[in-house]
């Protein structure tokens, strides 16, 4: 068993080595390859680059400018005043706090639960492909279509309260109380676990089998193998899934909006609601400072995650 495994691995490293050599050779003759490549690759990049510049980068720079002047007509430089205003704004605070609470509770859950699902499908149970299909299915169902059923389930007179009444639990108005956050965490997990699970499944498949086998022979228990070996190989994927879930957690507005409309219960008032309402009276200063504040926070969080992952997974990469 072990021997059989080893041979393809060896062949693989050989291929990789030759590729590396080639890569080096290519780098060495950079000028020449560039010449023979011609301008074609640059031309290929052009349409996309122009589009990204026009629709994202240039207006973003203008927005930075807008966020630092007092109004679009007067254009007096006020530096951070708009940012101070937005941070003091109660609606923005509520929206930011709600979004933060939601992301902080849903992202870790999404990572852990999808890893568990992936490990479940990784232990050679029957019907794996059918299970995979059904876990992945919610991702392909439009939010708007399935929102009806969520309403039936989470309504005050709905199915969930009916069910809980059997256990003597009092009725809860799920969507119009502080429990609203619980509901959207559930909806978020329902939709996103499948995608994350696929990422973890492919990462689990890529863990070198002989490392695990050596550990088993050396008498390592299942827990040791998981925490000390597998988790380290999984760490880049954990990072990716965390970042992806974070980005997707901002999209939960879709569910909230379709369930509760423009003015939901306080605990469900998300950043996108704030933006929508600010767009309605087109306050460029408010909009641009809010957008840039969010962008900075996103970059900071993702940067921190990268640094953490680099420290944790150092010795297994490459």
Partner 1 sequence: MIKSKTAVSAKKRRGSLSKKGQKILMGVLTVFAAAAALIFLLPTILTMANSFMSASEINANYGAIFAKTEEGGKTFISEKINLKFIPDMVSFSQYYTVLFKSPDYLFKFWNSVILVVPIVIFQLAVASLAAYAFARLKGRLKEIIFFVYVVVMLMPYQVTLVPNYLVSDWLGILNTRWAIILPGIFTPFAVFLLSKIMRRIPFSLIEAAKLDGAGELQIFIHICMPLCKSALFSVAILVFIDYWNMVEQPLILLSDTSLYPLSVFLSQINTGEIGLAFAVATIYMIPTLLMFLYGEDYLVEGIAYSGGIKG
With CB under 8 A as the contact rule, which of the stretches 3-11, 79-87, 143-151, 165-173 interacts with partner 1?
A: 143-151
Binding residue for partner 1 (CB under 8 A) from 9, 57, 84, 307?
Answer: 57
Binding residue for partner 1 (CB under 8 A) from 118, 253, 269, 285?
Answer: 253
**Whose Cβ is closer to partner 1: residue 60's or residue 312's?**
60
Q: Indicate whether 135 belongs to the interface with partner 1 (CB under 8 A).
A: yes
What minimum distance in Å lies between the beta carbon of 11 and partner 1? Answer: 15
What minimum distance in Å lies between the beta carbon of 194 and partner 1? Answer: 7
Q: Among 149, 251, 267, 248, which residue's Cα sits nearest to residue 199?
A: 248
Binding residue for partner 1 (CB under 8 A) from 261, 281, 311, 315?
Answer: 261
Site size toward partner 1 (CB under 8 A) is 108
Contacting partner 1 within 68-97 (CB under 8 A) = none
What minimum distance in Å lies between the beta carbon of 35 and partner 1? Answer: 12
Binding residue for partner 1 (CB under 8 A) from 78, 109, 136, 316?
Answer: 136
Where does residue 84 fall: left (phi above 0), alpha (psi -120 to 50 degrees), or beta otherwise? alpha
**Whose Cβ is closer to partner 1: residue 157's or residue 166's?**
157
**Using an 8 Å Cβ cutoff, are 95 and 270 in contact?**
yes
Contacting partner 1 within 98-127 (CB under 8 A) = 117, 120-121, 123-127
**Whose Cβ is closer to partner 1: residue 78's or residue 204's?**
204
Token pair of 79 as six digits: 């530096």
Binding residue for partner 1 (CB under 8 A) from 97, 299, 300, 304?
Answer: 299
Contacting partner 1 within 153-182 (CB under 8 A) = 153, 155, 157-159, 162
Where does residue 244 fall: left (phi above 0), alpha (psi -120 to 50 degrees), or beta otherwise? alpha
Q: How far apart are CA 318 and CA 312, in angstroms?
A: 14
Q: Indicate whether 59 belongs to the interface with partner 1 (CB under 8 A).
A: yes
Neighbours of 163 (CB within 10 A): 11
Q: What is the DSSP letter of 60?
A: H
Sign of the CA dihedral running 202, 303, 108, 245: negative
Q: Indicate whether 35 belongs to the interface with partner 1 (CB under 8 A).
A: no
Output the DSSP codes for 184-239.
Answer: HHHHHHHHHHHHHHHHHHHHHHHS-HHHHHHHHHTT--HHHIIIIIIHHHHHHHHH
With CB under 8 A as the contact rule, which of the stretches 4-12, 76-84, 104-112, 128-136 interacts with partner 1?
A: 128-136
Contacting partner 1 within 201-230 (CB under 8 A) = 201-203, 216-219, 221
CA distance readout (Å), 80 to 77, 83, 217, 308: 9, 5, 62, 31
Largest CA distance in the chain: 78
Q: How far apart are CA 29 and CA 31, in angstroms?
A: 6
With CB under 8 A as the contact rule, which of the stretches 1-9, 81-89, 140-148, 177-185 interacts with partner 1?
A: 140-148
Binding residue for partner 1 (CB under 8 A) from 78, 87, 109, 147?
Answer: 147
Q: Indicate whether 298 belongs to the interface with partner 1 (CB under 8 A).
A: yes
Neighbours of 260 (CB within 10 A): 19
């Amino acid at each position: 068993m072990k021997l059989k495994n080893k041979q393809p691995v060896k062949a693989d490293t050989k291929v990789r080595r030759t590729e590396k050599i080639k890569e080096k050779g290519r780098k060495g003759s950079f000028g020449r390859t560039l010449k023979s490549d011609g301008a074609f690759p640059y031309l290929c990049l052009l349409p996309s680059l122009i589009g990204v510049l026009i629709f994202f980068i240039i207006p973003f720079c203008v927005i930075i400018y807008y966020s630092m002047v007092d109004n679009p007509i007067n254009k007096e430089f006020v530096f951070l005043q708009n940012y101070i205003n937005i941070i003091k704004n109660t609606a923005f605070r509520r929206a930011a706090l709600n979004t933060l609470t939601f992301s902080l509770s849903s992202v870790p859950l999404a990572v852990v639960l999808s890893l568990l699902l992936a490990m479940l499908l990784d232990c050679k149970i029957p019907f794996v492909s059918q299970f995979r299909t059904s876990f992945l299915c919610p991702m392909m169902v439009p939010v708007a279509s399935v929102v009806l059923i969520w309403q039936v389930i989470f309504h005050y007179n709905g199915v969930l309260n009916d069910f809980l009444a059997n256990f003597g639990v009092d009725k809860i108005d799920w969507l119009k109380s502080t429990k609203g956050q619980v509901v959207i965490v559930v909806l978020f997990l329902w939709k996103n676990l499948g995608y994350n699970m696929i990422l973890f499944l492919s990462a689990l498949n890529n863990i070198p089998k002989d490392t695990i086998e050596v550990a088993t022979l050396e008498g390592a228990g299942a827990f040791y193998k998981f925490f000390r070996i597998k988790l380290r190989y999984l760490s880049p994927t954990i990072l990716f899934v965390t970042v992806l879930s974070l980005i997707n957690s901002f999209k939960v507005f879709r569910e909230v909006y379709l369930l509760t409309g423009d003015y939901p219960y306080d605990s469900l008032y998300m950043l996108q609601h704030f933006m929508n309402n600010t767009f309605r009276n087109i306050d460029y200063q408010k909009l641009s400072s809010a957008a840039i504040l969010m962008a900075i926070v996103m970059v900071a969080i993702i940067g921190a995650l990268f640094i953490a992952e680099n420290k944790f997974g150092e010795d297994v990469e490459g």
